[in-house]
Structure 1
């Protein structure tokens, strides 16, 4: 028996494009979706309730899921009055959540601004303290440390300073900012740091 020729395979149906969310400040959003939600807008060509509020695309009434949702809503709210009342309640709930989110955002921003201000103040005080204390270092010790720093080419390094030790009390005050100093073969050591944007040298016995 002769077999009928096989039919060519059906071409795969390309997936329907997924609509992307539209920013709230997009120019295509022109009218409020509800009078109680002026910050949420949709295009103006159709009725506001005929749009997806996220993607601003018209609702596809032929879509099975959309039709099922509409049917369920009609059962829950059989009269126009009930539907309008539900709209008002939902709009108020959405507006409340938007206000809470905005309040939370403002609180977080205030906390960030406060931390930044505190840090800037601390940096200014520290920089001024470093400038004053660094000016007390004798020239020979500073030149020796700078020469060592130039050879090493690093941001933080230990430089041996053979003369011109700083006072021990000054070393103790600077220690928290510079880390733990150390000695090499009994020589006083200077810790050179640019971590805070200023050069400081600390010598330890």
Structure 2
């Protein structure tokens, strides 16, 4: 009986070690209503060089929010109230399965060093800082599943209504050739920007 228990425990450790995440776990906060409330958002990164800006961009690459970051800083506490109005940009997304989601908006973090001091990111100024976790807005709660072919991947989006941090996980179950990719709302608003690697860039 003791051997079986140890074997089950080791199996759990193997499965857990296959899980890759850009963030931490939690349940989504209620961010609706007025007046605006403090949200406790923190974005962490390697020491910022001089003339650095932290940005939020649409998936299409349009910068919709940016804030100057002090030289040497390793974190920044932005305010969700600065981009709440962007919820008006949420739009249904048509998935390759033919399913169309409720209106959604995904925003991604980035950083650039403004070398020519013109206040905007130009070619060659983006820093190697990334995370697959997203700032997300869902007009209504969303739960969708769909598959992509290259690489073979099963996607699951579980997003709460309103503004949340969409936490990202990718793993491949033992004995399977299909990756599982999860994007789910969480209450923890900590984002970690890191350099891209073959695993974290998936």
TM-score, L = length of structure 2: 0.23
TM-score, L = length of structure 1: 0.23
> Which of the pair is proportionally richer in helix?
1
> Which of the pair is proportionally richer in strand?
2
Of structures 1 and 2, the one scoring higher in RCO (CA 8 A, sep 6+) is 2
